[in-house]
Amino acid sequence: MHPVRRRRLVLVLFVLVVSSAGVGLAVYALRQNLNLFYTPSQVVRGEAPADTRIRVGGMVVRGSLERAADSLAVRFRLTDGDQELWVRHEGMLPDLFAEGEAAVAAGRLRAGPLLEADQVLAKHDENYTPPEVAEAMQAGHEARAAREAGEAGTP
Amino acid sequence: MIPEYGHFALILAGCLSLVLGVVPLLGATFNRPLWMAAARPLALGHLVLVAVSFACLAAAFAGDDFSVAYVAANSNRLLPWYYKLSAVWGAHEGSLLLWVLVLSGWTAAVAVAGRKLPVQLIARVVAVMGLIALGFHLFLLLTSNPFARLLPIPPADGADLNPLLQDFGLIVHPPLLYMGYVGLSVPFAFAIAVLLAGRMDAAWARWMRPWTNVAWAFLTLGIALGSWWAYYELGWGGWWFWDPVENASFLPWLLGTALVHSLAVTEKRGLLRGWTLLLAIFAFSLSLLGTFLVRSGVLTSVHAFATDPTRGVFVLGFLGVVVGGSLLLYALRAPTLPATAGFGWRSREAWLLANNALLVVITCVILLGTLYPLLADVLAWGKISVGPPYFNSFFVPLTLALAALLGVGALLQWKDTAPRRLRGPLVLGLAVALASGGLLPLLWGEWHWGAALALAGASWIGALTLVDLWRKSTAGGRPWRGVRLLRAGYWGMVAAHLGVALAIAGAGVTETYSVERDLRMTPGESQALGGFEFHFAGVDEVFGPNYRSQRGEIHVTREGRAVVTLAPERRRYLGGQAMTEAGIDAGLTRDLYVVLGESLGAGAWAVRLHVKPGVRWIWLGGVLIALGGVVAICDRRYRVRIRTQAQVAPSAAVAEA
């Protein structure tokens, strides 16, 4: 082979190997750090993995917020209009966190099921609902409506 | 009537941008001097019309004209006047108008300052910028008219500006960031003009360089300011969140940095021409992508407040036309001359090329992490978010590698460097880096490898930069004789590189040694953290112009001596929005940062305390980097050469010093 061509071939192969190794590494790292979003219904049905960090969003159920007397630990329930999920968190809650409002909690699932949240996010202004939560609420309400219609139809 | 005048001026500006985008371009193609000469007056006229339109919108805000939908949605009678002004760019429509205003400003600046450049080139550059402006005018007029009225019954009062945006940082952050974002359209337009002309010499690199530097410096300042704003306003005590909107501004900055360096190679040695043009195209494309990400509302993010799909589709289409069109042009016209000059691995070219490769890799990794959730959403793989660990696990080692390269690269000479010139500085640099990595972290208590690596990297850059400065300034035999001979370009490089070192040191120290604690505190209680004693005195109610606030009082002492009294607030705005204002004591060595949470009943409050050493260095480093970019363009050669250029002939500038 012509030396110039051989050098070019080596260069191309080198770039190819290095870049595919890089892409492989990046995709691997990406998969390790993905946080999937689940609705409370999906978690209750057991569709969420237990060994990885997930996000769960919904409305904070009115009257469900409980505080510990001597620390910042809180417990509350999230709902998508169909099922409810307990969330436990220790730390400060965001400004706009309130009962009856949208919130997203991120953390790991424990037996119960209960979400041990290391982070709780609330919407950032009065008129905004996170799109995932809006979608989850709609799906939850529809599921409930369908179920109730089904129950009413077959007594 | 004023909003109608503004709307009318905007429509006229749109029409003018069409003329601006077509006539000079045709003039350059068919060699019509009069058509090409039209570029400058057209660009100035366009600037005036857009400025009039912008002033009309500002007047509507100042005069509380709530019949204008945009004003009603983003202002309020009680808003102080300076926030009324900044509310002009507080949301989607107005910030796009600001985009166009900045673009028309850059276009006019290029048209005026380019009088000494070849008339064909400038006509093409200005025309390309006119076409970009046309795209944004269509976007404004068709999908996001800021002057739309709420008739027949306008609201009595506005809904108020998002309280997060009622802040000094947000008065200056968008204009600075847009100066940078949009400024990258200048090198882009130069690249397209060069490709259209098919010029093969590399004189354009020298003309492109100052513009690229200024735009990049603005972008640097804008990003640093955004990070500072997020730090003190969001109340989380973090300075970078790998939020898609932050990434959207960081991606063009990374490629802009690569461009600034590859332009040096192209200007000085005439190499990497095709690569430089490609970088110019991609840097601006990423600016547009950033605009798309932020403005289309495709992201679940604190920043994205627009949620109208027609807008997203428009920007995506525009992005497709710009990127696709320029890549097609590149494929057809890229400089195909084989590189005649070679360079060895001890040359500055080789190391700048390695710098470019690393920066491009970093850009790709961040782009992948930013777009992956969107891709997954579109392909129905689920709702995904990518966590900061992904970005950090790539960005941190790659940045340290970049720091290692930077130290050496700046020492090297073009073409080749004698090994004996390198040995001394490298040994010294290595010794300084090892010593500071081993010892400096002990200043903050426990030795930690993360801080050690960052400090070693920073002092490696610092030591090698200063050694080179010392050597160059003693070049005349006596100390300081050489100082006067050093050029602005060199000083700019020194400042920017020291800025990088400072930012790396700050990031390493603050990420390693910051301490924070979430607490339940009752008035009278004290808490020790990071060598300070935080004493919680209580909370009172205070009133601002358009909010009422619960304000905590926290006395900080150190070894019994009073340090500062902090007043974190929880505000509730009249529009209903709630927000925390952190109490911050800024310092060169450390920040004290206190957030007041909700009332827990029985007089107790949730409180978060932070002690953050070195966090200011990150932004100071950013300011130094930007300063370096600005200093570098004061270099004499950008003025003197261009003048001789105009006197002699357009292609005489190939001759290289």
For B247, the enclosing helix (H) or strand (E) is helix B244-269
Phi, psi at A126, each rounded to 5°: -60, -35
pLDDT band at A141 (very low <50, low <70, confident <90, very high): confident
Q: Looking at chain B, which residue has its C-alpha nearest residue A71?
A: B520
Do A34 and B608 lie within an 8 Å CB cutoff? no
Q: Does residue A134 sit at the B interface (CB-CB below 8 Å)?
A: no
Phi, psi at A108, each rounded to 5°: -110, 150
Residues 47 to 86 of A: which have CB under 8 A from any B CB?
A: 53, 55, 67, 70-72
Q: Which residues contact B640 (CB under 8 A, 6 or more apart)?
A: none
- Distance to chain B for A130, nearest Cα, Å: 7
CA distances from B341 to B270, B271, B344 (A): 8, 8, 10
- Write the pLDDT tens digit of every residue in B449-458: 999 999 999 9
Q: Does residue A4 sit at the B interface (CB-CB below 8 Å)?
A: no
Estimate to the nearest angstrom the gap between the alpha carbon of B228 and the chain centroid.
12
Cβ–Cβ < 8 Å for B455, B436: yes
Residues 84 to 123 of A: which have CB under 8 A from any B CB?
A: 90-93, 95-97
CA distances from B602 to A75, B520, B599 (A): 19, 11, 9
Phi, psi at A73, each rounded to 5°: -70, 135
Taking contacts as CB-CB distances below 8 angstroms, the residues of chain B near A37 are 382-385
- Tell me the C-alpha distance between B596 and B277, whole Å: 51
Parse chain B into domains and list their residue ranges. 2-328+351-378, 515-615
Nearest neighbour of B383 by CB, restricted to A26, A29, A132? A132
pLDDT band at B303 (very low <50, low <70, confident <90, very high): very low
Q: Tell me which architecture the domain covering A36-153 has in CATH.
A: Beta Barrel (2.40)
Which tokens go with B230?
Answer: 């997020």
Strand ranges for B212-371 from DSSP E: none
| pLDDT for residue B227 is more than 80 | yes
One DSSP character per residue, A97-133 reads --TTSEEEEEEEEETTTEEEEEEEEE-SSTT---HHH
pLDDT band at B264 (very low <50, low <70, confident <90, very high): very high
- Write the pLDDT tens digit of every residue in B77-122: 888 889 999 999 988 889 899 999 999 999 999 999 988 888 999 9
What is the SS3 assignment for B205?
helix
Phi, psi at B89, each rounded to 5°: -110, 30
Say which amino acid occupies B81: W
Per the model's pLDDT, the better-predicted residue between B200 and B622 turns out to be B622
Whether the ω angle into residue B155 lies within 30 degrees of 0, i.e. cis, is: no
pLDDT at residue B116, rounded to an integer: 83
Which tokens go with B279?
Answer: 């970088």
Start-to-end C-alpha separation, chain A? 83
- Tell me the C-alpha distance between B302 and B324, whole Å: 31
| pLDDT for residue A33 is more than 90 | no
Q: What is the pTM of this model?
A: 0.90
CA distances from B291 to B197, B318, B384 (A): 29, 11, 22
Q: At what angle do helices B119-143 and B309-333 cross, to 10 degrees?
A: 160
